[in-house]
Structures are given as structure tokens and as C-alpha cells.
Amino acid sequence: MKHRFVRSISLLVSLLLAVSILASCQQQTATTPEEPTASDESKKTEVAETPQDKTDSENAEQKSEQNTEMVKADDYVPKVNKEKVFRATWGSWPKPPQFQGNPFTQGGVGEMGRYVFERLTQIVRSTDVIHPILATSIEHSERESVIKLRDDVTWNDGEKFTADDVIAAFYLNPRTICNYLTKVEKIDDYTVKLVWQDPPPFMELRDLLIAQDGTMNVPYHIFKEYVDKAKSIYESARDATPEELAVARTAFGKKLTEEQDKALSDNWNEMMKLTYPKPIGTGPYVVESVTASDAVLVKRDDYWAADQIYFEKIHHITGTAESMLGMLRNGTTDIYNGSLPKDLAESILASNKDIVFYPMFDPACHVLFFNQRREPFNDVNLRRALVYALDRTKIREGANYYGKEFPISMVGMPPSSLETYVSEEMRAKLTKYEYDPEKAARILEENGWKRNKDGIWEDKNGKTYSFTIAVNAGWQPAGVVDTAASIAAEQLTKFGFPTQVVAVDSSVFWNNAAKEGMYDMVIEWGDITWSFMYPWSPLNNTFKGGPSELMGLPRDPETNRVNLKVKGPDGTEVDPIELVDKLPVTADEEERQKIIDTLVWICNEYAFGANLYQNTTGVWLNRKTITGLPMEDEIDKYNQFMPVGRNFEEIVDIAELNIGFADMYVIWSGDLKPR
């Protein structure tokens, strides 16, 4: 039975707006509901039930009742997929003999982790819907959050899952949430207390952080020696001062000495030497076999929710992009993630009537990042001119037909969320960057540039430039970013800046592009949230994560912290990093709104990159071998190319199909079954 929660009605508005955007890009007609109005009251941070009108609520209740009465997994007899196997062309894992059970060794356990490990709560990316898994409840007070755990869970080696395992996960492998905690305490075997730093994250963010960072992959009975040592080091360290935390947040708010830091590092390195044959988790599947191309997992008979797991076996297959597309086309896989070029997508659907495509809103964009470490990209006017010079409609049509371009440079968050999270006043102030090569030329000319007799731009010193756009040669699906780069390079060359595309081997791409700054421009994911939708997640990633390296933002040589001071929308100097750090611990909603508005304005006004389009992703499923698909009785009506969700329930159901958005929740919930 599903227990589905959404963080706020304002996010529902964002999702429905995104749906209307994506629906307009489809050939099929998808009816979307009128957009509701989010009141100030709707932005409260309490967990709210999924907003639905009365009819939808009644339908959802009926569906829930049916789910509780459905045939148990052991009694379910499929007519086609009699072996109850789920075949997937997705993911990667260490190849034997490197594959083993310790998830922290080099390469980890790869795709197997989705099926072997579980979370306290499962967040569905792009929706902020949260499902309880190992946690039964979470209660917040001013400085504490109390998590109640299920008492019927075991690791796949038979040991009980308890509060000790939660504490182990946080102390052995501190994650983002630990930078806002002072400690994690055991109240009893099935109750854990999180104690937050002062000031603590605001209430809504706490649930999102727990969902984001609540993967339980540290069985205490196996890692006890290393957990106890790490915990003792943190407990013996002094508390960092507010000034130190302002420079860099640290796990549990501690300031480690060099000796303590080395002890933690040595403990981690010793822990990584620990090996055992297969990963040990609380999830419904255990690894049976792994080869370079195939990984097989089988269902646990003793799993605490075994009655709702209908697939007895998971078979993951990997290979070249061509071979995996071949499996999709001939129906020898049950799932394939990602969008494909329009012609290829239509060809696959026409050739196999069992394959169904579900497009979905993706809070991610392909951004052409400008590297400010290289001249002339340290000139904001040059960057602005290049954004105007790009015909992003043509780029999107060639590379990601079902995506959507926006009249911005980049905004540090998915642009489809602007109407939800950025004030109307600030949205009106954002510079509109629409395709206008004449305006691009005027900007350059006003700043001393001129075209020579060959039509090539020269700066005020008479210097000409030839640019490079780097792309990751290993990008999947193939033919997306390289197509975008080729079209962009052609456009910039025609405009007067000769530009070439460089396909960089995936093994060195990030080092060359981000760390060394070897290329003028790079196409990568940007204006993206890898986790929850609330703007702190994407803005933090933009200014402190990978995009900040691709943009070549200036850094303090001693701390490697981004050191950027710019004028904000009111003309006063601001430090974007200080604002990013302040956002999650600001209790006042109006102040948080001002911070979000300012950061979005800075990204757009200073044109750190060109957002080429917001991605439309999707999931390809094989209805011959699986059932329980959203809108299953309408597949033929839509010629297998399904509409984006037409209401909130459908939006979430489709998002949950995506393994990258919700792990294996759609299997865990019992929604998908072998046909």
C-alpha cells in the first residue's frame, strides 16, 4: 500500500506548469488541468497529503483499497512472464573480480545498491513526494527530529536492523545532512534522535534532507570497528566556531585537528580493505551472480514486505549504446531509461507494438558553460552576446526534440520552477535572452569588438579567437550532447567565432574540463537538481558543486572555496556563497524568498552559461512482459507514446517508473508485475 506525501502545494503548481510545457512539445494532445493558485498558507512546511480534487481523492482511495486486497506475490500466477523476471538495460557495476560486497570500495556495488539497500524514506525526484520505507514516522521539534523505525527488518545475512545501523550510516559515511547535525543518538532499538545545529534547517528542508541522505548501507555488525572509531573521533573533536562554520560546514559541526583528520582518513582507508563476496542490505533482493555484462539478483524469501514484491528475479544487462537500443527495439528488455532523438523514438515504437514510452518532466538542463578562466570568457558582455547569438530552438529540435528552451542565460535551478519559487517581481526583472544575433553584435560593438574582412570578430586589441566546445564522449544516450554541441559550434562559427567540438574520453573528461579548465566551453548538466526540488539543492550545486568548476568561478587558493563578489539586483555587492549557505538555516520565509530571487538574478544577469534546453527524459517499458503501467488501458489510443501526466497522481506514477528518479520503488510498491 502506498503512503504518498508531497511537501507543498506550491510544488504541485510547478509540476503542473512543467507538464503543460512538455505537453505542448508532444505530437499527441494531452489534457492538463487548470493551474491551481498557491496561497501563502500552502507553503507551510508540515507534511501535507497529496492535493487532489474530490473525485481524484475518491479514485485514489478506491485504488488504495484494491491494492490492499490484491493477490499476494506468492499466489500470483502470470500468464506470459512465467519466470517473473524483470530485465533492465540500465546502470553499471564493477566487473569481476573487482565486484564484492563493500559499497565503499572503489567502484562500489553499482546498480546492485538500488535493490539491496533501502532508505529511511524514499524521495521521488522531480516531485518531492516522500514514501516511508524503513522509517514509520518522523517528528520534529525546534532542535531535534525523532525517527521511529520498523521493528521487523533484517539484513540479508539474518541480523536485525536497528537504531545502531542508522547511527553507523551517519558516522562512518557522513553525508550532507551531517553538516547540519551535532549528533545522532539512540533512544531505543527502534528510535533515533537527530540533534540539529543552531540555527537548524527550516522544517520542510529537514524531511527532504533525511529522504536524500537516508540510505542505510552500513550494517553495524559488520562495520562496528570502523564505526566506533569514527564516532569516537567526532565526539572527541572540538565544536567549530560560527566563524569557522561560515567558511565551511563540517560533519556534526566539528573542527578536526590534523591528527584527528588523519585518524579519520586512516580509519576509512582501513575500512575500504574490508571485503566480502556480496553486498549486505535490508532490501528485497540479493545478488546471485555478476559478470562484465550481466548482473542477476533474486528475491529474498525472508524480506519484511515480500508479499508485495512480484518479481522473483532482476536481470540487469549492459553493453554498448547500440546493443542496448537493439534490445529495446526487439523487446528483449523490460525497461530502458532516457529520451531519444525524435526519428529514432518514432522508429522504435513503429517497429515494436509492445514498447511503450512515458515522457516525463526532468529537473535538469543541458547547459553550455563558459569557462571564465580563459579569455575572453572573463568578459560578461562577451558571454551575454554569445547567449543571444545561439538559436536554441534549432539546438533543441536537433538534440532533444521533446525538451523545452527558455529565454534565460542560466538561472541556477530548473527554469520550469521559476514560477513556483521566484517572486513575480523578480521574474519581471530577469533579462530576457531570446535569439537575436543583431543584438549580440551590438553588445560586442559597444564594447570595442568589430568584425574583420572575413567576418571574424576581433576584440579591441585586434585579437581573434577560435573556440572549443568539449563534450563527454561517453555520454548516454548517445547522439544527444554531441548533436547539441555540433549545432552550437556551427552557429557560433557563422556568427564570427570559429568553434570546434572536442569529444573527450570519459575517463579524463571531468579532470580536463572542470579541474584543469582546458576548454573554452563545455556542455554538461546544469540548472539541475539531483535531489529535491526546493531551490537550495540546485543553487548549492550551481555555486559550490560541479557547475562552479565548469564555469571557472574564482577560488581562494588556500580553502578552494569559491570567492565571488558581484553586484546584486539592488546594486549592492553580495557574496553568492554566503547567500547559499544562509538559505537552508533561514527560518523567515520572506528572507528565504529574497535570497532565492537574488541568486537566480545573479546567474541570469552574469550569463555564466547558456541553458540550451530543459531535458525531457522518459522510460521505455515492455508491455508484453510487464503489467501495472500508468494509463495502461490507453496505450493504443496514444500509439504507445504516452502523454505526460494529466493530474498529480499520473505525474507521480510516471516519475516512479524512472529507476533514476525513485530507485526500485515501482517494483517495491507492487505496482509493476510480471504479465
The domain ranges of the chain are 5-87+285-355+617-674, 118-271, 365-454+520-614
CA 202 to chain centre: 21
What's the confidence (pLDDT) of residue 41?
34
CA distances from 249 to 51, 180, 211, 595 (A): 36, 8, 20, 19
State the pTM of this model: 0.87
What's the confidence (pLDDT) of residue 341?
82
Is the peptide bond preceding residue 407 cis, with omega within 30 degrees of 0?
Answer: no
Burial of 437 (C-beta count, 10 Å sphere; 0-12/13-18/19+): middle
Set of cell numbers at residue 255: 573542527
Q: Which of 613, 606, 600, 605 is nearest to 431 (CA)?
A: 605
Q: Which of 604, 31, 639, 663 is nearest to 367 (CA)?
A: 604
What's the confidence (pLDDT) of residue 320?
87
Is 325 in a helix, a strand, or coil?
A: helix
138 neighbors 210 (Cβ within 8 angstroms)? yes
- For residue 609, count other CB atoms closer than 10 A to its CB: 29
One-letter-per-residue 3-state SS of 58-82? HHHHHHHHHHHCCCCHHHCCCCCCC
Set of cell numbers at residue 80: 506470459
255 neighbors 239 (Cβ within 8 angstroms)? yes
| CATH match of 118-271 with 3.90.76.10 | yes
| CATH architecture, range 5-87+285-355+617-674 | 3-Layer(aba) Sandwich (3.40)
What's the confidence (pLDDT) of residue 618?
93
The C-alpha torsion from 483 through 489 and 495 to 498, rounded to 10°, is -160
Is 549 in a helix, a strand, or coil?
A: helix
DSSP class of residue 447 equals T
Burial of 245 (C-beta count, 10 Å sphere; 0-12/13-18/19+): middle
The C-alpha torsion from 271 through 276 and 280 to 285, rounded to 10°, is 140
CA distances from 199 to 206, 251, 593, 605 (A): 12, 15, 18, 31
398 neighbors 366 (Cβ within 8 angstroms)? no
Q: Which of 240, 216, 72 is nearest to 150 (CA)?
A: 216
The C-alpha torsion from 124 through 125 and 126 to 128, rounded to 10°, is 50
State the number of CA atoms in the 13 A half-sphere of 456 facing the CB: 11
Q: Which strand (E) or helix (H) includes residue 516?
A: none
d(CA 60, CA 2): 10
d(CA 366, CA 369): 9
67 neighbors 3 (Cβ within 8 angstroms)? no
Cα diameter, the chain: 79
What's the confidence (pLDDT) of residue 2?
55
d(CA 124, CA 608): 29
CA distances from 121 to 68, 100, 124, 451, 477 (A): 21, 26, 10, 58, 30
Alpha helices in 191-240 (DSSP H): 203-213, 220-236
Same CATH topology for 5-87+285-355+617-674 and 365-454+520-614?
A: no
Give the list of residues 6+ apart from residue 326 with CB closer than 8 angstroms, or none: none
Q: Which of 5, 280, 287, 13 is nearest to 122 (CA)?
A: 5
d(CA 109, CA 113): 6
What's the confidence (pLDDT) of residue 248?
86
202 neighbors 536 (Cβ within 8 angstroms)? no
615 neighbors 399 (Cβ within 8 angstroms)? no
420 neighbors 38 (Cβ within 8 angstroms)? yes
Q: Which strand (E) or helix (H) includes residue 255?
A: strand 254-255
Is 101 in a helix, a strand, or coil?
A: coil
State the number of CA atoms in the 13 A half-sphere of 672 facing the CB: 28
What's the confidence (pLDDT) of residue 247?
83
**Number of residues that make up the chain:** 675
Could you give the angle at the alpha carbon of 42 between the alpha carbons of 139 and 596, nearest 5°? 90
d(CA 393, CA 403): 10
Profile the chain (675 residues) by mean pLDDT over runs of 10 residues: 52 58 50 32 34 38 44 94 95 91 91 97 95 97 97 98 98 97 98 97 96 97 98 98 90 97 98 96 98 97 97 95 93 93 92 97 95 97 98 94 95 96 98 98 98 97 97 79 94 98 94 96 96 95 97 92 96 97 96 98 98 95 98 97 92 94 95 97
Alpha helices in 237-359 (DSSP H): 242-247, 258-271, 321-330, 342-351
Question: CATH number of 365-454+520-614: 3.40.50.740, 2.60.40.10, 3.10.105.10, 1.10.1370.30?
Answer: 3.10.105.10
Q: Helices then strands (H, E): number in the chain?
A: 24, 28
Listed as own residue / partner, the contacts of 103-111 with beta carbons closer than 8 Å and 24 or more positions apart are: 103/217, 103/279, 104/173, 104/268, 104/271, 104/272, 105/272, 105/275, 106/272, 109/279, 109/287, 110/295, 111/295, 111/316
d(CA 207, CA 225): 30
Q: Is 612 left (phi over 0), alpha (psi -120 to 50) or beta?
A: alpha
